Amino acid sequence: MPTASGHTEAIRASQVIDTNVKDRRGNKIGEIEDIMLDKLSNHIMFAVVSFGGFLGVGEKYHPLPWEILNYDEDESAYVVDLTKQQLEAAPADSIEELTSGDGTRYRDLAYDYYKTPRYWDTLSH
Amino acid sequence: MPTASGHTEAIRASQVIDTNVKDRRGNKIGEIEDIMLDKLSNHIMFAVVSFGGFLGVGEKYHPLPWEILNYDEDESAYVVDLTKQQLEAAPADSIEELTSGDGTRYRDLAYDYYKTPRYWDTLSH
């Protein structure tokens, strides 16, 4: 069911963009910059997250499988169970690069890095 | 491959929002208002399209399966092969109602109306 903040199983893209991302301790570490959509298979490819203030100036954008972003009502934020060390070693690049090659390069890198099941391997259509 | 306008198989949600929707003859009939995402299954549920100027003042928002929106590079717009009569009889409501009940009510109505294959019937995970 819809909640006061509008974050539910069904969620509008415009409400996701600019939402804060926090760590397990409730510290803000970044925010959702955009959502990459897979027009071909009708899937969400990955969220584009900026951890600039957390990882340092000039940080690039991180592709994150949406499955690892858990919305926390109390925090009004997506919570990720990742350490600074994990994020520093994670796939990241400019937004232009994240979109290049139809996004599959960074999609694959991200799903591998975060060990998320590949939705495109189980497509039945 | 990415195009000049950035509309490809991989597309950023922020670039889709506010994009024009045209009919087959190139007339602007509406625009993309938002995209409803299915957090549970990682799918795009439907596009939220406003046909206000085309169908009349006070028009509600239409849920459209993204499959029936075809991006036309030359028009810089999504093109739909639908008549005014078809749109007038199509499912439409306020944005709040489109999101209610986790969006499945209007998702189902839209996919039925436009005879689009139901992605949720073929989910393997």
Return the pLDDT at B90.
Answer: 95
Report how far residue A93's alpha carbon sits from residue A110's, in angstroms, rounded to the nearest whole number.
11
Residues of B in contact with A2 (CB under 8 A): 99-100, 102
Return the pLDDT at A56.
Answer: 78
**A120 against B48, higher pLDDT:** B48
For residue A95, give the H/E element and its range.
Answer: helix A95-99
Query: B interface mutation test: which of A35, A61, A67, A93 has the most B CBs within 10 A?
Result: A35
Q: What is the mean pLDDT of residues A62-82?
A: 92
Return the pLDDT at B3.
Answer: 42
pLDDT band at A12 (very low <50, low <70, confident <90, very high): very high
**Residue B7 reports pLDDT greater than 80:** no
**CB of A5 less than 8 A from some CB of B:** no
Return the pLDDT at A3.
Answer: 43
CB contact under 8 A, A2 and B102: yes
Q: Are the C-beta atoms of residues A26 and B119 closer than 8 Å to each other?
A: no
Neighbour-count burial of B115, counting CB atoms closer than 10 A to its CB (0-12 exposed, 13-18 middle, 19+ buried): exposed
Report how far residue B66's alpha carbon sits from residue A53's, in angstroms, rounded to the nearest whole number.
35
pLDDT digits (tens, 9 = 90+) for B52-71: 878 877 778 999 999 999 98
**Residue B18 reports pLDDT greater than 70:** yes
**Residue A5 reports pLDDT greater than 80:** no
Q: Which of A91, A75, A97 is nearest to A29 (CA)?
A: A75
From A55's Cα to the closest Cα of chain B, the distance in A is: 24
Token digits of residue A69: 């972003």
Q: What is the mean pLDDT of chain A?
A: 87
Q: What is the mean pLDDT of residues A94-121?
A: 90
**What are the angstrom distances between the C-alpha of A111 and each of A40, A45, A53, A90, B7?**
18, 10, 24, 11, 23
